[in-house]
Chain A
């Protein structure tokens, strides 16, 4: 069996992922998350009588809380299997990364386990966010003067 035939055979038997269907599911679930975000902002600004800016940080805190709680209950992984990027890209994905690292390293103790490994997965988001924000901010200050 030559190499060409072999690669054709491999291609035939690898399970095909339906790219379009996955993208549609991510679109729908992500859209629902967006509606929930806007709805929470409206509810908070109406109920607590606060500005939209304040309400948006309340909304982010709420989503992070539910992301952490669902990860602890073991529901989040099942939901991600279905929704894929629809739940990873919203802020719940960040909460999931923090929470799953904390749970995984809990058995190694408080300091060396939870404390040292909390940002094992989510740390890259903060590091690259801060580095890029600093670089682009510097660029903006130098080029456009603020």
Chain B
């Protein structure tokens, strides 16, 4: 059942992005940035947490979860250390994604030549 729900959720997010891309002059870079901001906005009232409980992995795959994880880890830290926690805890949960992207892309770029 969770597979169907993650299919529906992730599919709808991608379809919305595709409709924005087709009907406006925005580039994919604009759209991913907008979706990250939307993801962090949805965490203001803990809406995105409910979405993850409902859709499971389907809600963690789209780029909106990146914005959600940023604010979620910052707020986790802020509950114990107050305002400074927003600065110290920002990358706690997204560290895996950012670090792996840097490390993999660095070593793979040493191995491969650009295709054109």
Contact B40 A129 (CB under 8 A): yes
How far, in Å, is A61 (CB) from chain B's closest CB? Answer: 5
Beta-carbon contacts of B40-57 to A below 8 Å, as 1s and 0s?
Answer: 110110000000000111
Contact B61 A91 (CB under 8 A): yes
A99 to B29, CA, bound (A): 14
Contact A38 B105 (CB under 8 A): no
With contacts A26-B18, A35-B6, A68-B108 taken as known, whether A136 is within 8 angstroms of B40 at the C-beta atoms is: yes
Residues of B within 8 A of A126 (CB): 98
Residues of B within 8 A of A104 (CB): 114
A128 to B11, CA, bound (A): 24
Beta-carbon contacts of B20-51 to A below 8 Å, as 1s and 0s?
Answer: 01110000110111011100110110000000
Of the residues B14, B22, B79, B83, contact of A27 by C-beta under 8 Å = B14
User: Which of B18, B43, B66: most chain A Cβ within 10 A?
Assistant: B18
Chain A at the B interface: mostly helix, strand, loop or mixed? helix
Residues of B within 8 A of A17 (CB): 22
Q: Please count the residue pairs between chain A and chain B whose beta carbons lie under 8 angstroms apart in the complex.
A: 245
Question: How many chain-B residues does the 8 Å CB contact rule pick out?
Answer: 69
Those of A112-146 within 8 Å (CB) of chain B: 114, 118, 121-122, 124-126, 128-130, 132-134, 136-141, 146
Of the residues B32, B102, B108, contact of A118 by C-beta under 8 Å = B102
Contact-residue size bin, chain A (C-beta under 8 Å from the other chain): 35 or more
Contact A89 B63 (CB under 8 A): yes
Those of B65-103 within 8 Å (CB) of chain A: 65-67, 70-71, 74-75, 78-79, 82-83, 86-87, 90, 93, 96-98, 100-102
Sample 26 A-B pairs with CB under 8 A, ordered by A number: A27-B14, A30-B62, A33-B10, A37-B6, A37-B10, A37-B57, A41-B60, A57-B96, A60-B100, A61-B96, A86-B18, A89-B31, A89-B32, A94-B32, A97-B32, A98-B105, A99-B109, A106-B113, A128-B37, A129-B36, A129-B40, A132-B40, A132-B41, A133-B71, A137-B71, A140-B44
Q: Which B residues are closer than 8 A to A by beta carbons?
A: 2-3, 6-15, 17-19, 21-23, 28-29, 31-33, 35-37, 40-41, 43-44, 55-58, 60-63, 65-67, 70-71, 74-75, 78-79, 82-83, 86-87, 90, 93, 96-98, 100-102, 104-106, 108-109, 111-115
